[in-house]
Amino acid sequence: MAAAAALRCNPRPSAAVALRGAAAAPQVGNEAAFELLVGATEPCLRGRRRGAGIRCQRSAAASAVVVEKKGRAVEPAREGANAGHTESELTVVMKFGGSSVASAERMREVADLILSFPEERPVIVLSAMGKTTNKLLMAGEKAVGCGATNVSELDELTFIKELHFGTIDQLGLDRSIVSGLSDELEQLLKGIAMMKELTLRTRDYLVSFGECMSTRIFAALLNKLGVKARQYDAFEIGFITTDDFTNADILEATYPAIAKRLHGDWVTGPAIPIVTGFLGKGWKTGAITTLGRGGSDLTATTIGKALGLREIQVWKDVDGVLTCDPNIHPNAKPVPYLTFDEAAELAYFGAQVLHPQSMRPAREGDIPVRVKNSYNRRAPGTLITKARDMSKTVLTSIVLKSNITMLDIVSTRMLGQYGFLAKVFSIFEDLGISVDCVATSEELDHVIEELEKIAVVHLLQHRSIISLIGNVQRSSLILEKAFNVLRTNGVNVQMISQGASKVNISLVVHDSEAKQCVQALHSAFFESGFLPEVNDILQDDSVAHSNGTVYRH
């Protein structure tokens, strides 16, 4: 597991506690300091996305800027989330994650679920079956050292073949749907074994087999059920990305390209499009890229925006976005409504339920996102929109990101605050490391070596970031309650930071105390009657959207 880092820059040795800063325009006063929170796998940097001038995780800023500059999708996409749709148009995108399509039985249920909405004309986005992506990665790692002759015997390869061919058999489909891909996969693993290396580019090609196979099987199932479906590999229909293998960003050209292809095909011969999630094509290399783990959510929202669909649905194995990770607290309960900002913040700070970049296209297209449970269709889920009534909201959700490394940086030279901060950022930039993506200790070593030329650097490992997502207009109330809980539990908070987006307060604590902290905070905020309004909201099954439309579950 890659280490993550929280970074605290203190240009004035006298400043004791680092409280926020904006990298774009550090308005730090004489006594204040500057701090960053940086994460390995997800971004946690204040100000980073707001123009910090450094490379962002997943190069998100790059593509986002292009999108914003050039505006939204072109024809035939419709304007706005609520544009009227004619019979000839696709209406929603429904994304099903790996857990939703993990077996033949699950595929049947998902087919049944889709068909239970006869009024919809959906685009379907699928992830790889179950844990296929992990197995493919493991097979690749093992292939590097096992020798070409032993590849066929790799447990992971056997598992993947059995899962997919077994599913095909149980569904009464033809094995030829994926046999070519299966052979190609084995060949690729042999190639990796011969080369004794697994590059990021090869890694993306390798994991693409998961989505390529699941979508072929599912399209064949629908066709067998008498429902016309057409399979698409995202990298063949216009998902154009940067060439940042394993973490590619979707480029602007994607929107008109996929709109043209999907809409055009639908009009000439209606068939439910079944699209591979997670995958794209690098614009320079032409090679298969992936959008980062969990990237199928982003595929779905990209399609939603491109086609100007009425709604984006992401079907998971939980009853929506919950008040915290259910693996940390069994009493985590669904959050009925969220804004795009809240959902994005939640995802950025580590809630596994949504891909960190996935809210961007939905927000830009103003398309509501509904998070639903494919195992429990009747659960209302979470509706994510541009705005919601925050008057009763205090706290929405608590997110934990563990295994963070904190860098305490104290200036040793008279560079002045601005110069010092600029230098700190440029060190990361020069090393080609995203400050929120300091992935390995080796990378950290280089950073520290450089930083030590201008500062005294303390490395504090095994830290966790606890993010309190909610109404920061009520930050005093949140902090009062949170510190009360932490004090009662004898926990020492090592850093505190409030996001510029006004929906997030982050606390850094030691890893060993983090889980217990989240549990205590969850109990205090969501289970002790402190927030009766949450229960009020749960009773209410509708919410007024900013444009006056009332959405109902």
Ligand X SMILES: N[C@@H](CC(=O)OP(=O)(O)O)C(=O)O
Ligand Y SMILES: Nc1ncnc2c1ncn2[C@@H]1O[C@H](COP(=O)(O)OP(=O)(O)O)[C@@H](O)[C@H]1O
Residues at the site binding ligand X, with contacts judged by CB under 6 A: 97-98, 127-128, 133, 210, 277-278, 293-296
Site residues (CB under 6 A) for ligand Y, limited to 399-428: none
C-beta of 98 vs 499, nearer to ligand X: 98
Nearest to 436 by CA among 25, 9, 26, 46: 46
Q: Out of ligand X, ligand Y, none, which partner does residue 317 contact, by CB within 5 to 8 A per kind?
A: ligand Y
Distance in Å, CB of 277 to ligand Y, minimum? 9
Q: Out of ligand Y, ligand X, none, which partner does residue 326 contact, by CB within 5 to 8 A per kind?
A: ligand Y
Residue 353 interacting with ligand Y (CB under 6 A) = yes
C-beta of 251 vs 531, nearer to ligand Y: 531
C-beta of 191 vs 334, nearer to ligand Y: 334
CA-based end-to-end distance of the chain: 38
Q: Out of ligand Y, ligand X, none, which partner does residue 278 contact, by CB within 5 to 8 A per kind?
A: ligand X
Q: Out of ligand X, ligand Y, none, which partner does residue 327 contact, by CB within 5 to 8 A per kind?
A: ligand Y
165 φ/ψ angles, rounded to the nearest 5 degrees: -70, -35
Q: Out of ligand X, ligand Y, none, which partner does residue 217 contact, by CB within 5 to 8 A per kind?
A: none
Among 10, 57, 63, 100, interactor with ligand Y by CB under 6 A: 100
Site residues (CB under 6 A) for ligand Y, limited to 262-301: 294
Nearest to 249 by CA among 43, 18, 542: 43
Strands 311-316 and 92-96: parallel
Site residues (CB under 6 A) for ligand Y, limited to 224-263: none
Distance in Å, CB of 160 to ligand Y, minimum? 17
C-beta of 249 vs 450, nearer to ligand X: 249
Strands 272-276 and 229-232: parallel
Segment interacting with ligand Y, rule: CB under 6 A, options 138-146, 319-327, 406-414, 537-545: 319-327
- Report how far residue 12's alpha carbon sits from residue 18's, in angstroms, rounded to the nearest whole number: 10
Point out the residue whose Cβ comes nearest to ligand X. 98
Q: Out of ligand Y, ligand X, none, which partner does residue 295 contact, by CB within 5 to 8 A per kind?
A: ligand X
CB-CB contact of 429 with 447 (8 Å):
no
Among 318, 472, 524, 537, interactor with ligand Y by CB under 6 A: 318
Among 11, 43, 76, 97, interactor with ligand Y by CB under 6 A: 97
C-beta of 47 vs 294, nearer to ligand Y: 294
- Report how far residue 17's alpha carbon sits from residue 25's, in angstroms, rounded to the nearest whole number: 19
Segment interacting with ligand Y, rule: CB under 6 A, options 96-104, 191-199, 223-231, 448-456: 96-104
Segment interacting with ligand Y, rule: CB under 6 A, options 56-64, 320-328, 423-431, 538-546: 320-328
- Report how far residue 385's alpha carbon sits from residue 272's, in angstroms, rounded to the nearest whole number: 26
Among 109, 265, 317, 429, interactor with ligand Y by CB under 6 A: 317
Helix (H) or strand (E) holding 206: helix 200-224
C-beta of 191 vs 380, nearer to ligand Y: 380
Please give the C-alpha separations between residue 72 and each of 51, 123, 252, in angstroms, as whole numbers: 21, 19, 9
**CA dihedral (323, 325, 501, 304) positive or negative:** negative
Q: Out of ligand X, ligand Y, none, which partner does residue 324 contact, by CB within 5 to 8 A per kind?
A: ligand Y
Residue 397 interacting with ligand Y (CB under 6 A) = yes
Torsion, Cα of 27, 444, 461, 329 (10° steps): 80
Distance in Å, CB of 514 to ligand Y, minimum? 14
C-beta of 140 vs 294, nearer to ligand Y: 294
- Report how far residue 18's alpha carbon sits from residue 23's, in angstroms, rounded to the nearest whole number: 14
Please give the C-alpha separations between residue 291 and each of 40, 94, 221, 269, 520, in angstroms, as whole numbers: 16, 18, 27, 30, 35
Distance in Å, CB of 270 to ligand Y, minimum? 27
Distance in Å, CB of 297 to ligand X, minimum? 6
Cis peptide before 11 (omega within 30 of 0): no
- Report how far residue 406's alpha carbon sits from residue 495's, in angstroms, rounded to the nearest whole number: 9
Q: Out of ligand X, ligand Y, none, which partner does residue 237 contact, by CB within 5 to 8 A per kind?
A: none
Q: Out of ligand X, ligand Y, none, which partner does residue 321 contact, by CB within 5 to 8 A per kind?
A: ligand Y
Strands 279-282 and 311-316: unpaired
Give me 148's structure tokens: 């070409």
Please give the C-alpha separations between residue 10 and each of 305, 413, 424, 447, 460, in angstroms, as whole numbers: 42, 12, 11, 16, 15
Residue 336 interacting with ligand Y (CB under 6 A) = no
Distance in Å, CB of 119 to ligand X, minimum? 26
Segment interacting with ligand Y, rule: CB under 6 A, options 149-157, 215-223, 316-324, 540-548: 316-324
- The DSSP symbol for 527 reads I
Nearest 5°: the CA angle 257, 209, 320 is 75
Q: Out of ligand Y, ligand X, none, which partner does residue 535 contact, by CB within 5 to 8 A per kind?
A: none
Segment interacting with ligand Y, rule: CB under 6 A, options 7-15, 36-44, 312-320, 415-423: 312-320
Q: Out of ligand X, ligand Y, none, which partner does residue 210 contact, by CB within 5 to 8 A per kind?
A: ligand X
Helix (H) or strand (E) holding 370: strand 369-373
Give me 118's structure tokens: 């006869």
465 φ/ψ angles, rounded to the nearest 5 degrees: -105, 125
**Interaction site with ligand Y (CB under 6 A):** 97-100, 127, 294, 316-318, 321-322, 324-327, 351-353, 397
